[in-house]
């Protein structure tokens, strides 16, 4: 976190959620939601680039970062948590963006709480359909996460550097720290198999879907992107080349170009 930023906790749904904030409420609010196993500061390079124009708020989702831990068999409603944070901080219709799990949360937020948001940005959201033959085997990445309790931070950073050669060094410290902060109980309570098509069809605000290459690991395919546009007149798509699931980390210039153009469009249309 930068010295002039601040971090704090806010009580939402009887839970303490942690967030980092770049501003003091005098600029248009922009809330950015991280992906699974990340934390709010994993948006650090983006927040740095945008802080002069926007009041950027970076929450830690429940069970992530420094936010409340998850109890076994607890029902987790990330969209309700974000809605509560927006209301508790008295944010005036922020633009909300999210990556992966955060993109799914952003989708659900836009559908269930349209009155709270001005626009949505979806970075390769976790729009995952159940597979007919889906088994109970553990994702290798999840297995790695479960074994990090005694792994030194420098070793996690080194692993990130090897696995993600396209990332800038600025991405790695927060990413590595977030892995050690992750509450392992989230594996048993978090469900990303949600009716995302219903969420998209319910959008009532401008929405930017940023996609990448499925051959490099992106979730949202060109076919799905076309379906999304047919489901909602509010969605526009920006396809980024030479990137996979972590679009902003793998092709930062193209991601920022798409994001800033959308932000200017939405904020500019609400300044009169």
Q: Tens of pLDDT along 190-221?
A: 777 899 999 999 999 999 999 999 999 999 99
Q: What would you measure as the largest C-alpha separation in the chain, in angstroms?
A: 54
Query: Domains in the chain, ordered, with CATH?
Result: 6-268 (3.40.50.1820)
Mean pLDDT score, 45-56: 97
Mean pLDDT score, 51-78: 94
pTM of the complete model: 0.95
**3-state class (DSSP) for residue 235:** strand
Kindly report, residue by residue over 252-266, the tens digit of the pLDDT. 999 999 999 999 999
Give the pLDDT band (50/70/90) at residue 271. Answer: very low
pLDDT of residue 134: 53
Give the pLDDT band (50/70/90) at residue 272. Answer: very low
Mean pLDDT score, 113-124: 98
DSSP state string for 14-68:
TEEEEEEESS-SSS-EEEEE--TT--GGGGHHHHHHHTTTSEEEEEPPTTSTTSP
């Amino acid at each position: 976190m930068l010295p002039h930023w601040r971090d704090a906790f806010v009580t939402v749904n009887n839970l303490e959620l942690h967030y980092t904030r770049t501003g003091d409420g005098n600029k248009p609010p922009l809330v950015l939601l991280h992906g699974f196993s990340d934390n709010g500061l994993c948006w650090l390079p983006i927040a740095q680039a945008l802080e002069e124009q926007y009041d950027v708020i970076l929450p830690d989702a429940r069970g992530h970062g420094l936010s409340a831990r998850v109890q076994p068999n607890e029902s987790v409603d990330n969209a309700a948590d974000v809605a509560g944070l927006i209301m508790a901080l008295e944010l005036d219709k922020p633009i909300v963006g999210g990556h992966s799990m955060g993109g799914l949360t952003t989708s659900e937020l836009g559908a269930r709480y349209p009155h709270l948001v001005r626009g949505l940005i979806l970075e390769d959201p976790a729009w995952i359909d159940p597979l007919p033959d889906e088994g109970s085997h553990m994702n290798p990445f999840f297995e790695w996460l479960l074994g990090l309790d005694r792994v030194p931070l420098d070793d996690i950073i080194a692993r990130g550097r090897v696995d993600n050669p396209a990332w800038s060094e600025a991405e790695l410290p927060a990413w590595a720290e977030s892995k050690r902060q992750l509450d392992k109980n989230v594996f048993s309570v978090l469900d990303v198999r949600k009716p995302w098509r219903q969420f998209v069809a319910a959008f009532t605000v401008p929405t930017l879907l940023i996609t990448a290459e499925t051959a490099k690991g992106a979730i949202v395919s060109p076919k799905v992107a076309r379906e999304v546009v047919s489901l909602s007149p509010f969605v526009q798509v920006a396809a980024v080349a030479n990137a996979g699931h972590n679009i902003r980390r793998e092709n930062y210039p193209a991601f920022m170009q798409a994001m800033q153009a959308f932000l200017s469009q939405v904020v500019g249309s609400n300044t009169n």
